[in-house]
Amino acid sequence: MRVLWIFLALALIAASLAAGVYKGRMRLLEQRTQPVLPSAAEGRAWETVNARLFFPKGDALTAEERRITLRGASDVERAGAVIDELLRGPILLSGLAEPLVPSGTSLKGLFIDADGSAYIDLDRSALSGAPKDATGEYLSIQGFYESLRQNVGSVQAVKFLIDGKEIDTLWGHLDAGRPVADEYDEE
Amino acid sequence: MKKLCVCLIIILLVPFAGFASAAGSDGELLRYAASAGKVVIDPGHGGFDPGLPGEKESVLVLAGKLRDMFREAGTKVALTRDANRYVSLQERASRVNNETPDLYVGLHRSRARFSVFSAIENSVRAESEGLRDRMLAGLAEAFGEDAVSSRQIPLYMTEHIHTPGVLVEIPANIDLDDETVSTPVIRAILQALEPSSENRR
């Protein structure tokens, strides 16, 4: 009888845990399907587009095709949706592809100026996680640049901000003080 | 008995032979080091910026070894940091440009292979590229072609310095505390300072 009670208690705990995990995943999924800039996109139709996203794999970038849903078709909205996908990281099918920034990094703001420079404002979590060498830093920046350049017509360069502030460098090797452009073209 | 004597003599001579060889090697490295005029060595990261695991410490130790060697050779030498403290890239570049050295050597670690990135300013580009190519060749000779990457990346330091120079990345799996490994790295760095290939071993 005692064994039965223990078994029932364990089953109850397992069921609660499973429900919690499921709920958490559903919440995450809901968050992920929110438009990046909901206030600007309110009242507009949803649109599903194919995006080509770039992630580091070894010492080069690998492309990953992904269907993304966005609301509104302005370049800022499209760029926001692309960055949101990049921040989620590569999907499992990409094999050994690596994320551009640590999991949990969020996009705090985005602006594209008249010259086509996209100003990507990330939160400080971007700088945490596994440190990068020069090639890793280069590939991470190149992943953002290449993904935006190929999916958002007006973007010609990218510049990073952390918590709204300009920075010298992201991970200690490359110049983040200016927009990066041509030298990051994927060969 | 005769064999025993021969063995004893050999055992006694081996350490002296090793010492003589090391001294000869040091002499050669000093000759390379003497061929530079004034040098700034720039060990990467430091303080709250660790770089790769163990990077900020190991490049500082290597920078110290190089500094001692340059000093012994009579070459003026300065470091952008000589302790475990953070120095921004802007400060490092200013320091290098204010010192107006003949040579800049940045030291970092990499995840996979040796890389050497050269300064890109027009007035120093050709000289820096020559230095880079000689250094890559020396590293390939010591560690094999597969251990070396010739990829060029626009780094902050190589973009902002006005002096001939290179930034060297040494794979993190290379144990720089092991002299049998660190000596070939130092040799490759120093022998690249001599432009004439005839002078190279």
Q: In this predicted structure, which of A7-16, A135-144, B87-96, B162-171 has the lowest mean pLDDT?
A: A7-16
The mean pLDDT value for A139-164 works out to 94
Q: Which residues contact A73 (CB under 8 A, 6 or more apart)?
A: A47
Number of domains chain A contains? 1
Q: CB A152: neighbour CB atoms within 10 A? A: 23
Residue among B155, B157, B167, B170 with most chain A CBs within 10 A, to mutate = B155
Question: Smallest Cβ distance to B149: which of A59, A174, A175?
Answer: A59
Kindly state whether A182 is in contact with chain B, defined as any CB-CB distance less than 8 angstroms. no
Kindly state whether A133 is in contact with chain B, defined as any CB-CB distance less than 8 angstroms. yes
- Would you state the pLDDT for residue A1? 64
Residue A126 lies in a domain: yes
Residue B190 lies in a domain: yes
Residue B3 lies in a domain: no
Residue B88 lies in a domain: yes
For residue B64, the domain's CATH number is 3.40.630.40
- Would you state the pLDDT for residue A116? 93
Query: How far is C-alpha B151 from the geometric centre of its chain's CA atoms?
Result: 19
Share the mean pLDDT of chain A.
80
Q: Which tokens belong to A10?
A: 């364990």
> Which positions in chain B touch A172 (Cβ < 8 Å)?
44-45, 49, 51, 89
Residue B4 lies in a domain: no
- Would you state the pLDDT for residue A174? 92
B41 Rama class: left (phi>0) / alpha (psi -120 to 50) / beta: beta
Residue A6 lies in a domain: no
The mean pLDDT value for A86-90 works out to 93
Residue A12 lies in a domain: no
Q: In this predicted structure, which of A93-97, A128-132, B66-70, B96-100 has the lowest mean pLDDT?
A: A93-97
Kindly state whether B151 is in contact with chain A, defined as any CB-CB distance less than 8 angstroms. yes
Asked if residues B99 and B133 have their Cβ atoms less than 8 Å apart, the reply is: no
**H or E element that contains B12:** helix B2-34
Cβ-in-10-Å burial (0-12, 13-18, 19+) of A175 comes to: buried
- Would you state the pLDDT for residue B5? 55
The mean pLDDT value for A125-136 works out to 88
Number of domains chain B contains? 1
Q: Which residue has the higher pLDDT, B121 or A15?
A: B121
Contacts A–B by Cβ distance under 8 A: 62
* Res. B200: pLDDT tops 50: no
Kindly state whether B81 is in contact with chain A, defined as any CB-CB distance less than 8 angstroms. no
Residue A112: domain span: 41-184
Share the mean pLDDT of chain B.
85
What's the gap in Å between the CA of B91 and the closest CA on chain A? 10
- Would you state the pLDDT for residue B195? 67
The mean pLDDT value for A47-63 works out to 89
Residue among A133, A184, A185, A186 with most chain B CBs within 10 A, to mutate = A133
Asked if residues B77 and B70 have their Cβ atoms less than 8 Å apart, the reply is: yes
- Would you state the pLDDT for residue A22? 42
pLDDT over 90 percentage in chain A: 48
pLDDT, one tens digit per residue, over B12-61 is 444 444 433 433 457 777 777 777 789 999 999 999 999 999 999 999 99
Residue B9 lies in a domain: no
Please give the ipTM for the structure prediction. Answer: 0.78
* Res. A39: pLDDT tops 70: no
Q: What is the largest CA-CA distance in chain B?
A: 71
Residue B41: domain span: 37-196
What's the gap in Å between the CA of B171 and the closest CA on chain A? 10
